[in-house]
């Protein structure tokens, strides 16, 4: 019996739309079979992992194109400074997920959270949770301390691990497909002059930092499972051909989803990240 593939979505904010587009394009072209997969993710990748485990690829792509169109479709500004632990909350995200996600999963989904109270990762098996409980965990998956409020001590798993690749391997998967939100190589980016320069530089720095964490995760997982006598895992990595907009640019999520679906991506040698 052929084992299911593990499909992994790294944390990448608004670039999750591009990852969904890539996955749908590869599925429709016959390169991968999303009907026979388990899903894993971090941060916005957790949204994709859960969505693909409950919806068809076409429905997930439609979600990114029609429901995630700007930052207010995902986050809402907290107006009372005495009652929040972040500038934004994720109530808009939870409301539309309750609207589009069915209670039953057709595949397994796993995503990571970072537990601040103990300083370690916690893995959520989405297919084992009720929908209200699952959506609360997804809110934690996108919680960035001080920026997006958290539900208790659980926050974005990207603080420790930008993709649960090791967990997928520990679960017994040997065929793995990982979707990145950026290219692993350092690439020059246009930095405008004037008022936009500091913000653009800040976003570029965060993107570079997240990408470095992801590449480290990939190298560590490969090193742990490398056997010169026997290939223990077969990992394929897909990434955009060129840098996308920054991770908080949700106004371009639908355009990035379309870009991914149009095939504007490359397959990367996992030993060269």
Instruction: For Cα atoms 235, 236, 238, give the angle at the middle one, nearest 5 degrees.
Output: 145
Q: In the predicted model, is pLDDT for residue 47 greater than 90?
A: yes
Both structure tokens of 251: 């106004």
Confidence bin at 209 (pLDDT 50/70/90): confident
| Three-class SS state of 239 | strand
- Cα R_g (the chain), whole angstroms: 18
Select from 239, 122, 221 the least CA-distant residue to 168.
221
pLDDT, average across residues 118-123: 96
pLDDT tens-digit map of 16-25: 999 999 999 9
In this structure, what DSSP letter does residue 4 have? P
d(CA 233, CA 59): 30
pLDDT interval class at 137 (50, 70, 90): very high
Is 8 within 8 Å of 154 (Cβ atoms)? no
Average pLDDT over residues 200-212: 72
Tell me the average pLDDT of the chain.
88
What is the C-alpha separation between 32 and 34, in angstroms, rounded?
6
Cα–Cα distance for residue pair 146/130, rounded to 1 Å: 28
Which one, of 70, 63, 21, lies nearest residue 250 by Cα?
70
Assess whether pLDDT exceeds 80 at residue 66: yes
Helical (H) or strand (E) element with 143? none
- Checking if the pLDDT of 139 tops 60, the result is yes
pTM: 0.91
Q: What is the pLDDT of residue 221?
A: 84
Who contacts 29 (Cβ-Cβ below 8 Å, separation ≥6)? none
Would you place residue 84 in the very low, low, confident or very high pLDDT band (cuts 50, 70, 90)? low
16: closest CA among 119, 141, 136, 124? 141
Q: Does residue 120 have a pLDDT over 90?
A: yes
């Amino acid at each position: 019996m052929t084992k299911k593939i593990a499909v992994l979505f790294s944390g990448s904010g608004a670039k999750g739309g591009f990852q969904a587009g890539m996955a749908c394009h590869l599925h429709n072209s016959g390169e991968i079979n999303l009907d026979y997969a388990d899903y894993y993710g971090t941060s916005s990748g957790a949204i994709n992992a859960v969505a693909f485990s409950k919806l068809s690829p076409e429905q997930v792509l439609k979600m990114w194109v029609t429901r995630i169109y700007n930052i207010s479709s995902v986050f809402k500004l907290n107006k009372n400074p005495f009652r929040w632990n972040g500038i934004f909350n994720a109530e808009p995200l939870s409301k539309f997920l309750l609207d589009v996600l069915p209670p039953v999963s057709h595949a397994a989904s796993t995503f990571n959270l970072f537990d601040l109270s103990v300083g370690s990762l916690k893995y959520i098996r989405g297919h084992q949770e009720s929908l209200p409980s699952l959506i609360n965990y997804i809110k934690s998956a996108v919680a960035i301390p001080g920026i997006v409020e958290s539900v208790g001590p659980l926050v974005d798993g990207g603080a420790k691990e930008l993709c649960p690749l090791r967990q997928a391997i520990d679960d017994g998967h040997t065929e793995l497909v990982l979707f990145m939100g950026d290219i692993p190589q350092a690439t020059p980016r246009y930095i405008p002059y004037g008022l936009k320069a500091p913000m653009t530089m800040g976003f570029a720095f965060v993107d570079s930092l997240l990408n470095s964490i992801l590449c480290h995760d990939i190298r560590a997982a490969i090193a742990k499972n490398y056997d010169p006598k026997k290939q223990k895992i077969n990992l394929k990595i897909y990434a955009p051909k060129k840098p996308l907009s920054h991770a908080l640019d949700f106004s371009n999520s639908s355009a990035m989803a379309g870009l991914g679906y149009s095939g504007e991506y490359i397959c990367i040698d996992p030993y060269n990240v």
